[in-house]
Amino acid sequence: MNARALLLAALVLGCATVAPAFAARVTGVVVDRDGKPVEYANVRVPALQKGVIADDRGAFTIDLPDGPCVLECAQIGYQRSRVTLTVRDGLAPCA
C-alpha cells in the first residue's frame, strides 16, 4: 500500500492568552496532496507533549507558547508530516 502524504496548513492567530505559558492559538487544516481534508488526524507538538485531534473536516486548534515549534501530523494510511513554525502573540491570520 502506498502511503499518501499529509499536508498541514497552519495559521497563527493572535488571541487572548489562555494561560500565562501560552501565547497564541494556532489553527489549521490537515489536507492530503489533492487538498481534501483528512478526518481525525493526530496533530501534536512532541517537544511540549501536547496534541489535538482534527475534526471531520481536518480542522484543528491548539494553544502554544511563543517561539519556534514543530507540528507533527499523523493518520493511518498517510505518511507523517512535519511543519516548523514560529508562534508569536498578535499575528494576524494569513489571507
Q: Where are the domains of the chain?
A: 4-87
pLDDT number for residue 15 = 38
Q: What residues contact residue 37 under an 8 Å CB cut-off, 6+ apart?
A: 29, 30, 31, 54, 56, 57, 58, 59
- ∠ CA 19-52-4, rounded to 5°: 145
- Compute φ and ψ for 48, nearest 5 degrees: -100, -5
CATH of domain 4-87: 2.60.40.10
pLDDT by position in tens, the chain (length 95): 445 655 555 444 433 334 445 578 899 999 999 999 999 999 999 999 999 999 999 999 999 999 999 999 999 999 999 999 998 876 555 54
